[in-house]
Amino acid sequence: MDNTKRYERLLERYRNGDLDRRSFLGLIGAAGVAYGVQTPFARMAFAQDVTQVRFDGWGGVVSEAFRRHAFDPYTAATGINVVDGTFSGGDEYLAQVRSSQEGEYNIAHLSGVFDYARYVNFGLDVALNIENIPNMELVMDALTNAFRGITPDHLSAVPYNYGTTGLAYNRAYISDEEIREKGASILIDPEYQGKIGGWSDWRTRLWYAALQTGQSPNDIQDMEAAWDAIRAHRDLALKYWGSGAELMSLLAEEEIYVTEGWSGRIAALQEQGHDIGYYDAPNSFGWQECLFVIKGSPVEACEELLNFMLAPETSIAVAEGQNYPPALDGSKVDLGSKIPTLPAYDPSGTLEALTFADPVYWNGNEAEWSETFARVQRGF
Protein backbone atom coordinates (compact mmCIF):
# COMPACT_ATOMS: atom_id res chain seq x y z
CA MET A 1 0.00 0.00 0.00
CA ASP A 2 1.47 3.39 -0.98
CA ASN A 3 1.75 6.23 1.53
CA THR A 4 -1.18 8.19 0.10
CA LYS A 5 -3.65 5.29 0.49
CA ARG A 6 -2.26 4.48 3.94
CA TYR A 7 -2.82 8.04 5.15
CA GLU A 8 -6.31 8.15 3.59
CA ARG A 9 -7.21 4.99 5.50
CA LEU A 10 -5.79 6.38 8.75
CA LEU A 11 -7.60 9.67 8.20
CA GLU A 12 -10.89 7.82 7.71
CA ARG A 13 -10.29 5.86 10.95
CA TYR A 14 -9.46 9.13 12.73
CA ARG A 15 -12.67 10.81 11.55
CA ASN A 16 -14.71 7.76 12.54
CA GLY A 17 -13.30 7.93 16.05
CA ASP A 18 -11.43 4.64 15.75
CA LEU A 19 -8.11 6.16 16.81
CA ASP A 20 -7.38 7.10 20.40
CA ARG A 21 -6.01 10.61 21.05
CA ARG A 22 -3.45 9.57 23.63
CA SER A 23 0.03 9.32 22.17
CA PHE A 24 2.35 11.89 20.69
CA LEU A 25 5.56 11.75 18.75
CA GLY A 26 8.33 13.72 20.46
CA LEU A 27 11.09 15.40 18.50
CA ILE A 28 14.12 16.41 20.57
CA GLY A 29 16.77 18.78 19.31
CA ALA A 30 15.55 18.76 15.72
CA ALA A 31 16.97 22.16 14.78
CA GLY A 32 16.74 22.38 11.02
CA VAL A 33 14.05 19.74 10.59
CA ALA A 34 10.61 21.20 11.20
CA TYR A 35 10.90 23.90 8.53
CA GLY A 36 9.11 22.85 5.38
CA VAL A 37 7.55 19.66 6.74
CA GLN A 38 4.10 20.85 7.79
CA THR A 39 2.28 18.54 5.37
CA PRO A 40 4.30 15.37 6.10
CA PHE A 41 4.05 16.00 9.83
CA ALA A 42 0.32 16.67 9.57
CA ARG A 43 -0.14 13.30 7.93
CA MET A 44 1.99 11.66 10.60
CA ALA A 45 -0.28 13.29 13.15
CA PHE A 46 -3.10 11.06 12.01
CA ALA A 47 -0.84 8.02 12.02
CA GLN A 48 0.19 8.71 15.59
CA ASP A 49 -2.95 10.53 16.74
CA VAL A 50 -0.65 13.29 17.92
CA THR A 51 -1.78 16.01 20.29
CA GLN A 52 1.55 17.81 20.49
CA VAL A 53 5.07 17.66 19.11
CA ARG A 54 8.05 18.34 21.34
CA PHE A 55 10.97 20.22 19.86
CA ASP A 56 14.16 21.01 21.75
CA GLY A 57 16.74 23.04 19.86
CA TRP A 58 19.39 25.67 20.38
CA GLY A 59 17.26 28.79 20.77
CA GLY A 60 18.06 32.22 19.37
CA VAL A 61 17.42 33.00 15.72
CA VAL A 62 16.95 29.30 14.93
CA SER A 63 13.98 28.97 17.29
CA GLU A 64 12.53 32.27 16.05
CA ALA A 65 12.75 31.12 12.44
CA PHE A 66 11.23 27.76 13.26
CA ARG A 67 8.37 29.28 15.21
CA ARG A 68 7.59 31.73 12.41
CA HIS A 69 8.05 29.46 9.39
CA ALA A 70 7.19 26.01 10.74
CA PHE A 71 5.65 25.72 14.18
CA ASP A 72 2.87 28.31 13.89
CA PRO A 73 1.84 27.29 10.36
CA TYR A 74 1.93 23.65 11.43
CA THR A 75 -0.32 24.31 14.40
CA ALA A 76 -2.68 26.37 12.26
CA ALA A 77 -2.95 23.57 9.70
CA THR A 78 -3.30 20.64 12.09
CA GLY A 79 -4.41 21.95 15.48
CA ILE A 80 -1.37 20.21 16.96
CA ASN A 81 0.66 22.34 19.35
CA VAL A 82 4.43 22.45 18.96
CA VAL A 83 6.18 22.65 22.32
CA ASP A 84 9.74 23.82 21.87
CA GLY A 85 12.51 24.30 24.39
CA THR A 86 16.23 24.89 24.45
CA PHE A 87 19.13 22.78 25.65
CA SER A 88 22.71 23.95 25.40
CA GLY A 89 24.36 20.78 24.20
CA GLY A 90 24.19 17.16 23.16
CA ASP A 91 24.97 15.88 26.65
CA GLU A 92 21.84 17.59 27.96
CA TYR A 93 19.80 16.04 25.16
CA LEU A 94 21.17 12.66 26.16
CA ALA A 95 20.36 13.23 29.84
CA GLN A 96 16.78 14.11 28.93
CA VAL A 97 16.40 11.04 26.75
CA ARG A 98 17.94 8.67 29.29
CA SER A 99 15.70 10.02 32.05
CA SER A 100 12.55 9.20 30.09
CA GLN A 101 12.23 5.91 28.26
CA GLU A 102 8.43 6.03 28.21
CA GLY A 103 8.18 7.21 24.61
CA GLU A 104 8.39 10.94 25.35
CA TYR A 105 11.37 11.29 23.07
CA ASN A 106 11.28 9.37 19.83
CA ILE A 107 13.71 11.09 17.49
CA ALA A 108 16.89 12.79 18.65
CA HIS A 109 18.68 15.40 16.59
CA LEU A 110 22.36 14.50 16.75
CA SER A 111 25.29 16.58 15.57
CA GLY A 112 28.36 14.62 14.61
CA VAL A 113 29.08 10.93 14.22
CA PHE A 114 30.53 10.91 17.75
CA ASP A 115 27.02 11.69 19.08
CA TYR A 116 25.64 8.75 17.11
CA ALA A 117 28.30 6.53 18.68
CA ARG A 118 27.48 7.85 22.15
CA TYR A 119 23.77 7.04 21.82
CA VAL A 120 24.61 3.59 20.47
CA ASN A 121 26.99 2.94 23.37
CA PHE A 122 24.15 3.71 25.79
CA GLY A 123 21.97 1.09 24.08
CA LEU A 124 19.48 3.61 22.70
CA ASP A 125 19.68 2.48 19.07
CA VAL A 126 17.16 0.54 17.00
CA ALA A 127 17.43 -1.25 13.66
CA LEU A 128 15.60 0.79 11.03
CA ASN A 129 13.97 -1.05 8.14
CA ILE A 130 15.50 0.84 5.24
CA GLU A 131 12.86 -0.60 2.88
CA ASN A 132 10.41 1.66 4.71
CA ILE A 133 12.60 4.67 3.93
CA PRO A 134 12.95 4.53 0.13
CA ASN A 135 14.23 8.10 -0.04
CA MET A 136 17.41 6.83 1.61
CA GLU A 137 18.42 5.87 -1.93
CA LEU A 138 18.86 9.58 -2.61
CA VAL A 139 21.23 10.13 0.34
CA MET A 140 24.99 10.33 -0.15
CA ASP A 141 26.76 7.09 0.70
CA ALA A 142 29.53 9.06 2.39
CA LEU A 143 27.09 10.15 5.10
CA THR A 144 25.44 6.81 5.79
CA ASN A 145 28.78 4.97 5.65
CA ALA A 146 29.98 7.03 8.61
CA PHE A 147 27.18 5.51 10.69
CA ARG A 148 27.72 2.02 9.32
CA GLY A 149 31.26 2.21 10.64
CA ILE A 150 29.70 2.21 14.12
CA THR A 151 26.73 -0.10 13.55
CA PRO A 152 27.68 -2.26 10.54
CA ASP A 153 24.54 -4.39 10.68
CA HIS A 154 21.95 -1.64 10.94
CA LEU A 155 21.22 2.06 10.96
CA SER A 156 19.45 3.85 13.79
CA ALA A 157 19.49 7.27 12.11
CA VAL A 158 19.23 9.00 8.76
CA PRO A 159 21.36 12.00 7.79
CA TYR A 160 19.59 15.22 6.84
CA ASN A 161 22.32 17.79 6.25
CA TYR A 162 26.03 18.42 6.45
CA GLY A 163 28.42 21.30 6.82
CA THR A 164 31.94 22.29 7.70
CA THR A 165 33.75 24.34 10.28
CA GLY A 166 36.04 26.26 7.95
CA LEU A 167 37.89 29.56 7.92
CA ALA A 168 35.76 32.71 7.81
CA TYR A 169 37.50 35.99 7.04
CA ASN A 170 36.74 39.61 6.24
CA ARG A 171 37.88 40.31 2.69
CA ALA A 172 38.49 43.98 3.52
CA TYR A 173 41.53 42.86 5.53
CA ILE A 174 42.41 39.36 4.34
CA SER A 175 42.51 38.31 0.69
CA ASP A 176 41.43 35.00 -0.78
CA GLU A 177 45.04 34.40 -1.77
CA GLU A 178 46.34 34.96 1.76
CA ILE A 179 43.80 32.63 3.37
CA ARG A 180 44.73 29.85 0.94
CA GLU A 181 48.41 30.40 1.49
CA LYS A 182 48.26 30.40 5.29
CA GLY A 183 45.34 28.06 5.86
CA ALA A 184 44.62 27.17 9.49
CA SER A 185 47.85 28.85 10.59
CA ILE A 186 46.29 32.26 10.04
CA LEU A 187 44.53 31.73 13.38
CA ILE A 188 47.91 31.86 15.14
CA ASP A 189 49.40 34.64 13.01
CA PRO A 190 50.68 37.49 15.25
CA GLU A 191 49.85 39.96 12.46
CA TYR A 192 46.18 39.63 13.41
CA GLN A 193 46.54 39.73 17.19
CA GLY A 194 43.33 40.98 18.76
CA LYS A 195 41.38 40.42 15.55
CA ILE A 196 41.20 36.64 15.74
CA GLY A 197 38.23 34.69 17.07
CA GLY A 198 37.53 31.05 17.83
CA TRP A 199 34.81 28.74 19.09
CA SER A 200 35.05 27.73 22.75
CA ASP A 201 34.75 24.04 21.89
CA TRP A 202 37.58 21.69 22.80
CA ARG A 203 37.10 19.48 19.73
CA THR A 204 37.31 22.42 17.33
CA ARG A 205 40.34 23.88 19.06
CA LEU A 206 42.19 20.55 18.95
CA TRP A 207 41.15 19.90 15.36
CA TYR A 208 42.60 23.23 14.25
CA ALA A 209 45.66 22.77 16.44
CA ALA A 210 46.33 19.53 14.55
CA LEU A 211 46.10 21.38 11.22
CA GLN A 212 48.34 24.17 12.53
CA THR A 213 51.01 21.67 13.54
CA GLY A 214 50.86 19.60 10.35
CA GLN A 215 49.14 16.60 11.94
CA SER A 216 46.12 14.48 11.12
CA PRO A 217 43.14 15.51 13.28
CA ASN A 218 42.23 11.84 13.64
CA ASP A 219 45.73 10.81 14.72
CA ILE A 220 47.49 13.54 16.70
CA GLN A 221 50.93 12.23 17.58
CA ASP A 222 52.48 15.32 19.19
CA MET A 223 49.90 16.46 21.73
CA GLU A 224 52.23 18.99 23.35
CA ALA A 225 52.65 20.77 20.03
CA ALA A 226 48.88 20.81 19.62
CA TRP A 227 48.30 22.25 23.10
CA ASP A 228 50.97 24.88 22.43
CA ALA A 229 49.12 25.89 19.26
CA ILE A 230 45.92 26.21 21.28
CA ARG A 231 47.75 28.42 23.78
CA ALA A 232 49.11 30.56 20.94
CA HIS A 233 45.62 31.02 19.56
CA ARG A 234 44.27 31.81 23.04
CA ASP A 235 46.81 34.56 23.52
CA LEU A 236 46.27 36.12 20.08
CA ALA A 237 42.48 35.92 19.99
CA LEU A 238 40.16 38.73 20.96
CA LYS A 239 37.83 36.18 22.53
CA TYR A 240 36.22 32.79 22.18
CA TRP A 241 32.70 32.94 20.80
CA GLY A 242 30.04 30.68 22.25
CA SER A 243 27.16 30.74 19.77
CA GLY A 244 26.38 31.20 16.10
CA ALA A 245 24.78 34.55 16.81
CA GLU A 246 27.92 35.78 18.55
CA LEU A 247 30.08 34.50 15.70
CA MET A 248 28.02 36.45 13.17
CA SER A 249 28.04 39.60 15.28
CA LEU A 250 31.82 39.58 15.75
CA LEU A 251 32.41 39.26 12.02
CA ALA A 252 29.68 41.65 10.92
CA GLU A 253 30.82 44.38 13.32
CA GLU A 254 34.46 43.82 12.31
CA GLU A 255 35.49 43.14 15.89
CA ILE A 256 37.40 40.20 14.44
CA TYR A 257 38.80 39.66 10.95
CA VAL A 258 39.23 35.90 10.97
CA THR A 259 37.97 32.83 12.83
CA GLU A 260 36.85 29.32 12.12
CA GLY A 261 33.09 29.28 11.65
CA TRP A 262 30.10 27.18 10.72
CA SER A 263 29.43 27.18 7.00
CA GLY A 264 25.70 27.89 7.32
CA ARG A 265 26.23 30.89 9.56
CA ILE A 266 28.75 32.34 7.14
CA ALA A 267 26.29 31.81 4.30
CA ALA A 268 23.76 33.83 6.31
CA LEU A 269 26.27 36.68 6.68
CA GLN A 270 26.94 36.62 2.95
CA GLU A 271 23.19 36.78 2.27
CA GLN A 272 23.07 39.89 4.45
CA GLY A 273 25.64 41.56 2.19
CA HIS A 274 28.77 41.18 4.32
CA ASP A 275 31.92 40.50 2.31
CA ILE A 276 32.94 37.52 4.40
CA GLY A 277 34.93 34.83 2.63
CA TYR A 278 34.88 31.15 3.52
CA TYR A 279 37.58 28.57 2.93
CA ASP A 280 37.75 24.88 3.76
CA ALA A 281 41.44 24.15 4.16
CA PRO A 282 42.70 20.60 3.58
CA ASN A 283 41.31 18.29 6.30
CA SER A 284 38.72 20.86 7.31
CA PHE A 285 36.29 19.71 9.96
CA GLY A 286 33.35 18.10 8.19
CA TRP A 287 30.25 17.12 10.09
CA GLN A 288 26.69 15.99 9.55
CA GLU A 289 23.45 16.17 11.47
CA CYS A 290 21.03 13.27 11.65
CA LEU A 291 17.74 12.06 13.06
CA PHE A 292 18.25 9.16 15.46
CA VAL A 293 15.32 6.91 16.34
CA ILE A 294 15.49 6.02 20.02
CA LYS A 295 14.87 2.57 21.42
CA GLY A 296 11.28 2.13 22.57
CA SER A 297 9.86 4.42 19.89
CA PRO A 298 7.13 3.50 17.39
CA VAL A 299 9.68 2.56 14.76
CA GLU A 300 7.45 2.17 11.71
CA ALA A 301 5.82 5.54 12.33
CA CYS A 302 9.23 7.13 12.75
CA GLU A 303 10.42 5.52 9.52
CA GLU A 304 7.51 7.07 7.63
CA LEU A 305 8.36 10.45 9.09
CA LEU A 306 12.03 10.10 8.21
CA ASN A 307 11.14 9.15 4.66
CA PHE A 308 9.20 12.39 4.33
CA MET A 309 12.10 14.30 5.83
CA LEU A 310 14.30 12.95 3.03
CA ALA A 311 11.79 13.68 0.26
CA PRO A 312 13.46 16.24 -2.03
CA GLU A 313 10.79 18.92 -1.59
CA THR A 314 11.08 18.70 2.21
CA SER A 315 14.82 18.26 2.42
CA ILE A 316 15.48 21.17 0.08
CA ALA A 317 13.17 23.44 2.08
CA VAL A 318 15.08 22.54 5.26
CA ALA A 319 18.41 23.19 3.57
CA GLU A 320 17.38 26.54 2.17
CA GLY A 321 16.00 27.60 5.55
CA GLN A 322 19.14 26.63 7.45
CA ASN A 323 21.84 27.36 4.82
CA TYR A 324 23.32 23.88 5.11
CA PRO A 325 23.35 21.47 2.14
CA PRO A 326 20.93 18.55 2.48
CA ALA A 327 22.02 14.94 2.77
CA LEU A 328 20.68 14.31 -0.73
CA ASP A 329 23.15 13.47 -3.48
CA GLY A 330 23.29 16.41 -5.89
CA SER A 331 24.21 14.05 -8.72
CA LYS A 332 20.86 12.27 -8.26
CA VAL A 333 18.53 15.10 -7.28
CA ASP A 334 18.00 18.60 -8.69
CA LEU A 335 18.65 20.71 -5.62
CA GLY A 336 17.58 24.01 -7.14
CA SER A 337 19.58 27.21 -7.51
CA LYS A 338 20.45 28.20 -3.94
CA ILE A 339 21.96 25.05 -2.46
CA PRO A 340 24.84 24.77 -4.96
CA THR A 341 25.97 28.24 -3.84
CA LEU A 342 26.20 27.29 -0.14
CA PRO A 343 29.61 26.90 1.53
CA ALA A 344 30.54 23.22 1.99
CA TYR A 345 28.28 22.06 -0.86
CA ASP A 346 29.73 19.10 -2.76
CA PRO A 347 28.25 18.62 -6.24
CA SER A 348 29.98 15.25 -6.66
CA GLY A 349 28.08 13.61 -3.80
CA THR A 350 31.28 12.00 -2.49
CA LEU A 351 32.40 14.50 0.19
CA GLU A 352 35.96 13.37 -0.53
CA ALA A 353 37.29 16.85 0.26
CA LEU A 354 36.00 16.70 3.83
CA THR A 355 37.39 14.91 6.86
CA PHE A 356 34.98 13.57 9.47
CA ALA A 357 35.89 12.92 13.09
CA ASP A 358 36.76 9.33 14.00
CA PRO A 359 34.22 8.69 16.80
CA VAL A 360 36.32 6.01 18.50
CA TYR A 361 39.35 8.28 18.60
CA TRP A 362 37.58 11.42 19.73
CA ASN A 363 35.09 9.87 22.17
CA GLY A 364 37.88 7.76 23.66
CA ASN A 365 39.91 10.86 24.50
CA GLU A 366 37.06 13.18 25.42
CA ALA A 367 37.44 13.05 29.21
CA GLU A 368 41.17 13.82 29.19
CA TRP A 369 41.20 16.36 26.38
CA SER A 370 38.16 18.33 27.49
CA GLU A 371 39.61 18.64 30.98
CA THR A 372 42.98 19.74 29.63
CA PHE A 373 41.33 22.31 27.37
CA ALA A 374 39.42 23.76 30.32
CA ARG A 375 42.75 24.32 32.08
CA VAL A 376 44.30 25.86 28.98
CA GLN A 377 41.33 28.23 28.70
CA ARG A 378 42.07 29.43 32.21
CA GLY A 379 45.64 30.28 31.27
CA PHE A 380 47.60 27.12 32.11
Half-sphere exposure of 101 (CA within 13 A, CB side): 7
Per-residue pLDDT at 134: 96
pLDDT value for 10: 39
Residue 101 neighbours by CB under 8 Å, 6+ apart: 295, 296
Other residues' Cβ atoms within 10 Å of the Cβ of residue 110: 26
Overall size of the chain counted in residues:
380
Q: How many CB atoms lie within 10 A of CB 364?
A: 13
What pLDDT, on the 0 to 100 scale, is given for residue 26? 43
Give 136's contacts (C-beta < 8 A, 6+ positions apart).
130, 144, 158, 307, 310
What are the residue ranges in the chain where pLDDT is below 70?
A: 1-71, 73-74, 77-78, 80-90, 92-93, 100-107, 301, 305
CA distance 175 to 164: 20
Could you tell me which of 197, 226, 224, 221 has the C-alpha nearest to residue 210?
Answer: 226
What is the CB neighbour count within 10 angstroms for residue 374?
Answer: 11
Axis-axis angle for helices 299-309, 312-322 (nearest 10): 70
Q: In whole angstroms, what is the distance from residue 204 CA to residue 59 CA?
A: 21
Pairing assessment for the beta strands 276-279 and 157-170 based on DSSP bridges: antiparallel
Distance separating alpha carbons of residues 305 and 151, to the nearest angstrom: 22
Residues 222-237 pLDDT 10s: 999 999 999 999 999 9
- What distance in Å separates the CA atoms of residue 238 and residue 259, rounded to the nearest whole number? 10
Q: What is the DSSP string of 228-263?
A: HHHHHHHHHEEEEE-SHHHHHHHHHTTS-SEEEEEH
For position 255, what pLDDT does the model report?
98
Distance CA 178, CA 289 (A): 31
Confidence (pLDDT) at 314: 76
The whole-number pLDDT of residue 37 equals 32
